[in-house]
Structure 1
Amino acid sequence: MTDRPISVLVVDDHTMLRGALCDMLRTEPDIDVIADAASGSSGVVYAAKMDPDVVILDVEIPGDDVTVTLRLLNEASPRSQVLIVSMYEDMTLIRELVGLGIAGYLHKSASRDALLSTIRSIGENPGENTEVVIYVSWQEERSAGERASGERGAEYGLTVRELEVLEGVAVAMSNRQLAVALGITEGTVKRHLRNIFEKLGAVSRLDAVNRAVSANLINARPGRSGRG
């Protein structure tokens, strides 16, 4: 961690949203927006020239597919941490981007505090992060009357490891089996489960899986979850 501000490059083709995001970030004394770009290709050029700590990148921007842009960014500025901020919530795409080395994935409904804390987390110690931060939003299943009233579920932040734990629980893996499969201790599995319950508002393993499946956070269908 250094005393200098975290340098940020913003890449988003929506001019108004990009401008509003840059203006908001510039109010933070520890964050320095060094450039903004409207396309992936121009973002890669800026990254190569300026070597930002964090690149904020939208999924749907003019030019190359986001996976191509991400690879080019990694080549142009290997030290930069890429934070995807998008309206998309496709977990298949998220996992693909995680595999390509993104540091975080935030849905555009994420709060200002969530965005700022993520930027600081990945920007203050680039290259030292062990888990990708993922924030997605979802609409909780409710009665027809409640849906009509527009009530929505809360916003949750789930790490990749917590999603892995959820997927294991969904196919009835015990805590011991999860620990062996993921190479962690049973105590760590229990800690992840407590975090999952809190973030999803769940009261049991099966409830957590049902909520996650309904929210399209995991692809597995709920199974008979054992206790552990």
Structure 2
Amino acid sequence: MTLFHFGNCFALAYFPYFITYKCSGLSEYNAFWRCVQAGATYLFVQLCKMLFLATFFPTWEGGAGVYDFVGEFMKATVDLADLLGLHLVMSRNAGKGEYKIMVAAMGWATAELVMSRCLPLWVGARGIEFDWKYIQMSFDSNISLVHYIAMASVVWMFTRYDLPKSFRLPVTVLLGLCVYKAFLMELFVHMFLLGSWTALLVKALLTGVVSLCSLFLFVTLVHSN
């Protein structure tokens, strides 16, 4: 049963990435090493963020159960570096917008999957006792993939010189939601004391709304040109 549970977690976490890579056409462009370079950029950006947070944002020493709203908001603002990193990756790749977006998003999301979820899944999901948190972790990795595809598409639209003025406000709002989504989720969970499954469902719904709005703006922008 241990191998069965581990296999389920592994399939839920990794197969969507493989399927996305194959079905998006990246394999036809031999974009594997481009995605690896995007992943390396992700690691560099995260290292810079960690150093910045460790230097300017010391550990919260407030009372138990007290939420440090200002501190967490400022920490979330540091995620603006992810936008710069995605823009850097896309600016270094020539090709259509769809290709740039998918290379940046696949590399970024895969690097996050490997660095933040690979070891817990490998060690925890192979344990004697089954725990639903590893299934939740697998679902969360799929949500992150969709999130980074939407984020990359919004960054690509925002940096276009020919972006129509009517698009600037919604694209900027989507950028803000992409950056502060984790902060909003943490605040929402803290305020309403949501359970792990409910929080995962809310995160999936919020990511879905942002992704659908990004897709609508992207399709409209591409067809208008």
Q: Which TM-score band (shorter chain)?
A: under 0.3
Report the TM-score, using the length of structure 1 for normalisation.
0.26
Which structure shows the bigger proportion of residues in strand conformation?
1
Structure possessing the higher relative contact order (Cα contacts under 8 Å, 6 or more residues apart) = 2
Report the TM-score, using the length of structure 2 for normalisation.
0.27
